[in-house]
């Protein structure tokens, strides 16, 4: 049966999975969602014997129904290969009494690789299926990780160009170097004077600009997105939660049908939404614990039912979560509104006009699968240090936010369930914050001097991604004001 997709803001039009991937964002500014969440057609006993690639096919074929078996398997095998430094792709590691799902073994050592290594293949396959002749321009805003992962995925992919905007001073030094040293004739990186929300809003405005769309079409271009708003990003993320549960079962850590709780460090809401979709597909999940840093707009939302971005924007040691507008939350709002696109549209209009909205008591009741928590900067650093001292395991700042929230939730709720933490980045990516948390004596040490020290104390190999940028040339130096993003895009494309 063909699963179709519709916009969260209008009920009248459906598109195929490949059309939704190509467009990225719906014409009305809404996000594409499947008409229903499909169920897994294999048992957990069957899944536990599967490789990551086999699991990916079992999950993704349910969502991407207009891709042939051959097309989808080709995309999967092209994505999950030697770019990852481990054959299992997403290892499960037991840290104390919690399981960490390590999602950072790809080319850019962050969880974005899990989806962005396959998106270029899905996108180019979708373009062929829909007889697209225009060059596809991938336009992306990043809070640090998506940018590099998208650049690495799309570099020199025929028929595509990629433009990434990031907040100047709002990402780690390693994140910035990973982007500005990116090779590829079709890649452009621009630092904006503003924060991530400015970058994200600017990209959304460009997507919604019909005049610009026509201008680009006349020049032989069309936009698509590599941000987590693209359904081609979200579907591959569902895979690793299904895989993690099956592996816990295979390892004898849980029994068949036993529920687990999952904690996800959350900024744009895509990663935890994928876990929610996995639960709806049939994975036995109890609570989905949404972990925020000091930009705790999501924590406040789960506590009060009010989403309010009118607050101070705080730069933290977990910059990929320094977000006040969580784009993917709209997909959840649409779901808990009973798939009522009008109700969702009204709330999104209110968010745009006033910066806040409040959901109804009925909608709040439908959030029962979720719990919220947040960790302060002090708690984040403390979690890194105490975990290292207790177990020898070193985690990055984002994972530490989740681990801190997870530990507090566990202490407050003795439900007897096992806990899984989504470990979203390598500690090497945020090395200065991580090493300073372990011992303040590293506070004034240069980031790259700390690389060998982290390798020594954690007994881990230095990732290739870090070795590559140590002496790489800076290739991208372009900067612009947040209100000049459209003009910058036109300049890059020569329109």
* Active site amino acids: 112
Q: Strands 285-292 and 187-193, how do they pair? A: unpaired
At 96 the three-state DSSP class reads: coil
- Write out the two tokens for 302: 């789960």
At 367 the three-state DSSP class reads: coil
CA torsion sign, 454 to 183 to 397 to 443?
positive
Buried-state track 19-50, b at ≥16 Cβ within 10 A, e below 16: bbbbbbbbeebbbbbbeebbebebebeebbeb
Longest pairwise C-alpha distance within the chain: 61
Check: CB of residue 446 under 8 Å from CB of residue 156: no
Task: Write out the E strands in 25-106.
Answer: 32-34, 92-95, 98-102
CA torsion sign, 79 to 201 to 340 to 213?
negative
Instruction: Work out the angle between the directed axes of helices 173-180 and 145-154 (0-180°, nearest 10).
Output: 20
Check: CB of residue 66 under 8 Å from CB of residue 129: yes
- Write out the two tokens for 415: 């439900």
| C-alpha separations of 197 from 83, 204, 325, 463, 473 in Å | 31, 10, 6, 30, 29
Check: CB of residue 436 under 8 Å from CB of residue 378: no
**Residue reference for tokens 């948390």:** 437
Check: CB of residue 194 under 8 Å from CB of residue 167: yes
Q: Which helix (H) or strand (E) holds 79?
A: helix 69-79
Helices assigned H by DSSP within 393-438: 397-412, 431-438
Instruction: Work out the angle between the directed axes of helices 377-391 and 397-412 (0-180°, nearest 10).
Output: 90
């Amino acid at each position: 049966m063909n699963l179709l997709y519709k916009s969260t803001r209008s009920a009248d039009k459906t598109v195929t999975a490949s059309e939704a991937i190509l467009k990225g964002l719906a014409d009305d500014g809404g996000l594409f969602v499947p008409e229903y969440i499909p169920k897994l057609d294999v048992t957990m006993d069957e899944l536990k014997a599967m490789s990551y690639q086999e699991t990916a096919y079992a999950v993704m074929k349910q969502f991407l129904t207009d891709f042939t078996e051959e097309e989808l398997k080709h995309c999967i095998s092209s994505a999950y290969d030697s770019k990852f430094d481990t054959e299992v792709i997403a290892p499960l590691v037991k840290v104390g009494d919690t399981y960490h799902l390590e999602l950072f073994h790809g080319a850019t050592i962050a969880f974005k690789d899990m989806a962005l290594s396959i998106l270029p293949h899905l996108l180019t396959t979708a373009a062929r299926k829909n007889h697209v002749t225009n060059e596809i321009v991938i336009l992306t805003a990043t809070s640090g990780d998506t940018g590099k992962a998208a650049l690495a995925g799309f570099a020199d992919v025929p028929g595509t160009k990629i433009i990434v905007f990031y907040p100047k001073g709002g990402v780690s030094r390693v994140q910035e170097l990973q982007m500005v040293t990116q090779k590829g004739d079709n890649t452009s990186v621009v630092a904006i004077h503003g924060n991530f929300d400015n970058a994200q809003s600017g990209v959304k405005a460009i997507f919604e600009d019909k005049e610009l769309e026509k201008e680009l079409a006349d020049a032989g271009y069309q936009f698509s997105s590599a941000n987590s708003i693209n359904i081609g990003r979200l579907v591959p993320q569902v895979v690793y939660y299904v895989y993690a549960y099956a592996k816990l079962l295979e390892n004898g850590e849980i029994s068949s049908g036993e529920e687990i709780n999952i904690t996800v460090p959350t900024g744009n809401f895509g990663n935890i939404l994928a876990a929610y979709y996995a639960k709806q597909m049939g994975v036995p999940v109890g609570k989905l614990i949404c972990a925020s840093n000091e930009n705790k707009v999501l924590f406040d939302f789960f506590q009060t039912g009010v989403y309010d971005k009118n607050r101070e924007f705080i730069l933290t040691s977990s910059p990929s979560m320094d977000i006040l507008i969580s784009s993917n939350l709209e997909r959840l709002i649409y779901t808990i509104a009973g798939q009522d696109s009008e109700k969702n549209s009204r709330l999104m209009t209110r968010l745009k006009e006033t910066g806040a909205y409040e959901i109804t008591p009925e909608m709040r009741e439908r959030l029962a699968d979720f719990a919220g928590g947040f960790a302060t900067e002090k708690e984040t650093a403390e979690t890194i240090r105490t975990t290292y001292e207790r177990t020898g395991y070193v985690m990055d700042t984002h994972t530490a936010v989740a681990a801190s929230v997870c530990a507090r939730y566990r202490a407050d709720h003795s439900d007897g369930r096992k806990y899984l933490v989504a470990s979203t980045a390598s500690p090497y990516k945020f090395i200065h914050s991580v090493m300073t948390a372990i011992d303040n004596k590293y506070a004034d040490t240069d980031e790259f001097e700390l690389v060998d020290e982290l390798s020594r104390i954690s007994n881990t190999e230095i990732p290739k991604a870090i070795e590559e940028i140590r002496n790489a040339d800076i290739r991208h130096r372009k900067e612009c004001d947040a209100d000049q993003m459209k003009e910058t895009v036109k300049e890059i494309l020569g329109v």
